Amino acid sequence: MEAVIDIAVEWVFVCKTDDVPQNGGGCVKVGDEQIALYNFSRRGEWYATQNLCPHKQQMVLSRGMIGSTGDTCEPKVACPFHKKTFSLLSGECLTGEEYQLKTYPVKVEGDRVYVGIE
């Protein structure tokens, strides 16, 4: 695995842009960590969160549907199991529970995708 050093975070190369489906997610393995990576191509944005859904501890968020909500078009992902939704920006649960997802910065250079690990 290559690493490009930036400020505070270590940018880890995780996959090529076309490994993650458009407007969808995929799971990448970084060491022992599972990270859900979202290719929000409709907005030209990339996001990353933990892959584990905090509701029932399931490694599935990368398989959830993404979309947006509200006037600010907050980007979000819905867990495939019970459709709890989480903000891709803050990791906060948007369906009223106290869950919090870990989020990661993402950087794309050419067709290479990097995730920032602290």
For ligand FES, the binding residues (CB under 6 A) are: 53, 55-56, 58, 79, 81-82, 84
Q: Is 96 in the site for another protein (CB under 8 A)?
A: no
Residue 64: contacted member of another protein, ligand FES, none (CB under 5 to 8 Å, by partner type): another protein
**What tokens does 92 get?**
């906060």
46, 58 in Cβ contact below 8 A? no
Q: Which residues within the stretch 10-69 sit at the binding site for another protein (CB under 8 A)?
A: 14-15, 19-29, 34, 37, 40, 42-43, 56-60, 63-69
Residue 69: contacted member of ligand FES, another protein, none (CB under 5 to 8 Å, by partner type): another protein
Residue 29: contacted member of another protein, ligand FES, none (CB under 5 to 8 Å, by partner type): another protein
Q: Which is nearer to ligand FES, 89 or 94 (CB)?
A: 94
- Secondary structure E strands in the chain: 3-5, 10-16, 24-30, 33-40, 45-50, 52-53, 58-59, 65-69, 74-78, 85-87, 103-104, 106-109, 112-117
A 10 A CB-CB count for 6 gives: 12
Q: Which is nearer to another protein, 7 or 37 (CB)?
A: 37
Total number of residues shown for the chain: 118
